Amino acid sequence: MEENEGKIEFYKDKHLPHEVKENLIIRINRAKGHLESIKEMISQDRTCEEIITQLSAVKSAVNEIMIKVVEAHIGMIEKGNFNNSDVIELVRVLIKSMKLK
């Protein structure tokens, strides 16, 4: 059990800070609300322009969430909470996410 405790301590500093998590959850809930309104707009036969405008807002919101996550991780890197392999993995994830667009 002592071995697991060491692992927990090792990863503890690699998690997002509480205030960042709270901000991300607020942003995610806002994007979720936009998606629900888009679903309603489709049911109400709203115009494609209106639906696309809302979809664009959701896309922007998700991009902002991704930016906030990356910024938080960069802050943790600057504090020395990550080693080189962690930084490389973060860059790989970023590259992969950019290719999906």
Residue 38 sits in a domain of what CATH number? 1.20.58.1000
Domain that holds residue 45: 2-99
**Single-letter amino acid code for the residue at 72:** A
Range 77-94 burial, b when 16+ CB lie within 10 A, else e? eeeeebeeeeeeebeeee
Mean pLDDT of 75-100: 78
Q: What pLDDT digit, counting tens, does each position of 82-94 carry?
A: 777 877 887 888 7
Q: DSSP states of 62-84 as a string?
A: HHHHHHHHHHHHHHHHHTT-S-H
Model confidence, pTM: 0.71
The C-alpha atoms of residue 91 and residue 17 are separated, in whole angstroms, by: 20
Token pair of 64, please? 């902002």
pLDDT at 15: 77
The C-alpha atoms of residue 50 and residue 56 are separated, in whole angstroms, by: 10
Task: Count structural domains, the chain.
Answer: 1
